[in-house]
Amino acid sequence: MRASASEELKHLPRHIAVLVAAVIGILSASSLRAESCRVDHCHDGDTCTLDCAGQIVKVRLYCVDAPEIGQKPWGRISRDFLRERLPAGSSVELLRVPGQRDRRQRTIGVLLQPDGVNLNLDQVQSGWAAVYPQYCADPVYYMAQEDAEAQRRGIWRTGGAQQRPWEWRAAKRRRG
């Protein structure tokens, strides 16, 4: 029986495994059709509004869960990190995940800079977002998060609820 991609990558030196994982992610994303869009604005570290040929599209980043704005200061830092990479008016390529919308009817997608940088993966690699395990089966994102955790980047610098935004939201709902 063949090991999973993430199991095979664990046997490589970390820096090589992260590079291989990134290449796998680019190849898997390349099967989707890219749309050229302009950034209207990014609401937080995992949601942006785009103008795609005159159609306004609210996009939730695939595989990514960033701290909520109320998770101070982490949410604002995550949002600002994404805004630095995607300033209003900039060009971006949108890869829509076929048939995928979240419960708020946002399009689920991957955002690529014109030079091909996967901004979803960049949020995780930089440590400003976590992989959303409920909605992500792509091993590339898990490898990127493991590396960010090991290097203590972004939200992984210190322990706390900022590391897993879905847990923070659930605790907030329980409190009322």
For the chain, list the domains and their CATH numbers: 5-158 (2.40.50.90)
CA–CA separation, 136 vs 147, rounded Å? Answer: 17
* Residue 73: cis peptide before it, omega within 30 degrees of 0: yes
Task: Report the predicted TM-score, pTM, of the whole model to 2 decimal places.
Answer: 0.79
pLDDT in tens, 96-145: 998 888 788 899 999 999 999 999 999 999 999 999 998 899 999 999 99
CB neighbourhood size of 115 (10 A): 5
CA dihedral 141, 26, 59, 54 (to 10 degrees): 170
pLDDT in tens, 49-87: 999 999 999 999 999 999 999 888 999 999 999 999 999
pLDDT confidence tier of residue 6, bands split at 50, 70 and 90: very low
pLDDT confidence tier of residue 32, bands split at 50, 70 and 90: low
